[in-house]
Amino acid sequence: MTHTNHSSSKTSTTAVLLFVISVIFIAMTLRTPLTAVGPVIPLLRDDLGISNVLAGFLTTIPLLAFAIISPFVARIARKFSIERTLLFALFILATGILLRAFTSINGVIIGTFFIGVAISFGNVLMPSYLKLRMPLKVGLMMGIYSVSMNISAGIAAGISYPLAETTFGWRGAVSFAIVFVIIAIICWLPQLTFRAQLHTPTTKAQLPLYKSPLVWAIACMMGIQSLLFYSSSAWFPAILMAQGFSASEAGWLSSVMLFAQLPMTFFIPILASKATLHVPITIGFSTLYIVGFLGLTFEWTAFAAVWMICIGLAGGASFSLVMMLFTMRTESIFTSAELSGFAQSTGYLLAAIGPVTFGWLHDATDSWFATCIAFLACAIVLFISGLYGSRNRTVEQSLQGR
């Protein structure tokens, strides 16, 4: 009996370890295919002979795919199981990466869309799945998931151009993420034996999420924090250069902002697993955002690194909190996935139009001041929606008037 228990415990530990590894590698596939492209866009554009507009649109296609596909992900997973759906998404991702890397412009566009579709499934389902598989450690697992995603994104952005300058070219630079996808597929195969079901006795029918103010508050949080991330990534280098920094200094400061997110993406999910801390976390990241944007708006350049760190910390905290809210503001896994899909569809639609709108503000005023004010205004909206979303109440309670 003792030997049997020991063997069972060892098997259980191995299964948990394999699950954690599979989560890490899936997380690494959700950003590397995106962040590897930006630095090599000029090389891609020149090789394919396309315009700047079309080259820039390639970075927007995945965001549009997120907005279009996210609302349908939970229903697909409900029919085929989360495990099978995620495995299928990984195969779609591999196909998209290969199409984008080794075909002409039409294949590049189609492959980029496939990449966006595949990543949508991971974005929506992983928070809910972590809640289902490890409910007592969901904060820790969300931290591991978020950190893995962000570290791999930063590495991909850093090595893609050096790779492109070698014999690999831009095609090799945008295809190396296939290695992570292959490892993720191999690690994920054992998870197919779990066959988690999204539906429970409390979710026989799909809930009308759009009727819940709490859902809209969380969707607004997702949207504004996404808009701030993608818009700041797109325009901060130009804003900093307009304030007197060199291109290399502006790039370094942008990197500081990105890497400042990392500690927050690990610790905030753990803290947010305690519902009583949601409001303090919201106040904290909102304050950091406002301080950082004020410093940027008034061009206090001597402390530019401080402003970037503040904005980076705020970005990591706001992203991590809203990911946790998908699981902590719902009573069932299916509702969690539905909320995730609804909020992410809204969020990435805003994210897709954010960089264009912020750039238009600059062109219309011939100054970055209006753009910086817009960043501040968004931070205030995020604070208001965050306070509502941080209330200790579930979506089901909101819809039932409890």
Q: What's the CATH number where 296 sits?
A: 1.20.1250.20
What pLDDT, on the 0 to 100 scale, is given for residue 92? 97
Give 113-126 pLDDT, tens digit per residue.
999 999 999 998 99
Same domain, 112 and 247: no
What pLDDT, on the 0 to 100 scale, is given for residue 240? 87
Residue 16 in domain: yes
Residue 204 in domain: no
Same domain, 307 and 331: yes
Same domain, 116 and 26: yes
CA dist., res. 22 & res. 342, Å (int)? 25
Closest CA to 188 of 111, 98, 117, 121: 121
Same domain, 173 and 260: no
Six-digit token string for 193: 């034996």
Q: Taking the CA of residue 293 as centre, how many other CA atoms within 13 Å lie in the half-sphere pointing to its CB?
A: 26
Task: Decide: 340 and 75 in contact? Cβ < 8 Å.
Answer: no
Domain end (from 175, 198, 221)? 198
0.85 surpassed by pTM: no
Residue 77 in domain: yes
Give 177-222 pLDDT, tens digit per residue.
999 999 999 999 988 887 655 444 444 456 677 788 889 999 999 9
For residue 10, give the amino acid letter. Answer: K
Same domain, 74 and 112: yes
Domain end (from 166, 198, 230)? 198
Span 53-58, average pLDDT: 76
Residue 111 in domain: yes
Same domain, 353 and 287: yes
Six-digit token string for 88: 């299928």
pLDDT at 75 over 90: no
Same domain, 149 and 68: yes
Span 300-324, average pLDDT: 93
Residue 203 in domain: no
Closest CA to 70 of 315, 396, 326, 330: 326
Residue 225 in domain: yes
Same domain, 131 and 263: no
What pLDDT, on the 0 to 100 scale, is given for residue 11? 53
Same domain, 243 and 263: yes
Same domain, 190 and 228: no
Indicate the number of domains in the chain.
2
Residue 171 in domain: yes
Same domain, 166 and 302: no
Domain end (from 198, 232, 259)? 198
Instruction: Give the range of the structural domain holding residue 135, as residue numbers without chain letter.
Output: 2-198
What pLDDT, on the 0 to 100 scale, is given for residue 46? 85
Same domain, 134 and 261: no
Give 353-378 pLDDT, tens digit per residue.
888 788 888 888 888 899 999 999 99
CA dist., res. 61 & res. 337, Å (int)? 23
What pLDDT, on the 0 to 100 scale, is given for residue 184? 94
What pLDDT, on the 0 to 100 scale, is given for residue 202? 44
Residue 124 in domain: yes
